[in-house]
Amino acid sequence: MEMPTLKVFIFDMDGTLVDSKLNFDAMREELGFPEGVPLLEHIDEIRGSVSEDEINHYFDVIHRHEKEGALASELMPGVQEFLEFLGEKNIKTAVLTRNNREVTDLTFQKWQMSFTRVLSRDCVTKQKPHPEGLLKISEELGVSPSECVYIGDFSFDLEAAKNAAMKAIL
């Protein structure tokens, strides 16, 4: 069986392309969330048992931290060279991130990065590890999931790629 050619490299943003030094423990503490819970999933869990104003407050706190992180972000070693290499090979690049669109755009403006397609948490109804975002990118770019690889730094990234039937690199 022949291996399919990789036509699209999809990246997670924070911890993969850039280090925004987000302190999730500090966010949980400020929000009053239990230790170790994923923030977005916890908000989904408690939605309905707290007011919409509280939900909005949670997202405001997360957004403030993410924006500070974008401004303080540092490019991960080798990213620029790897993106240039992929460009020279005419391989499409995309991003799927759990950050919001404003923060994602701010980060990529700071580092002068551009991608064929970028999906933030605002662009999908289900977050990683659900495969929705990866499958949406694959479909929009007209390639099968087997022709894509997802590169990330967290177990959610590996799970999302597996759930989308894509290759994954941690």
- Quick one: angle between helices 52-72 and 39-46, nearest 10? 170
Per-residue pLDDT of the chain (170 residues; tens, 9 = 90+): 555 689 999 999 999 999 998 889 999 999 999 999 999 999 999 999 999 999 999 999 999 999 999 999 999 999 999 999 999 999 999 999 999 999 999 999 999 999 999 999 999 999 999 999 999 999 999 999 999 999 999 999 999 999 999 999 99
| For the chain, counts of helices (H) and of strands (E) | 7, 7
Query: How confident is the model at residue 2, as a pLDDT?
Result: 58
CA-CA distance, 170 to 164, in Å (whole number)? 15
Residue found by looking up tokens 């694959």 in the block: 138
Kindly report, residue by residue over 107-156, the tens digit of the pLDDT.
999 999 999 999 999 999 999 999 999 999 999 999 999 999 999 999 99
pTM score of the predicted model: 0.90
**Which residues 6+ apart lie within 8 Å of 126 measured at CB?**
132, 133
3-state helix, strand, coil in the chain (%, to 5): 50, 15, 35
* Count of CB atoms situated within 10 Å of the CB of 162: 14
Q: How remote is the C-alpha of 170 from its chain's centroid?
A: 13
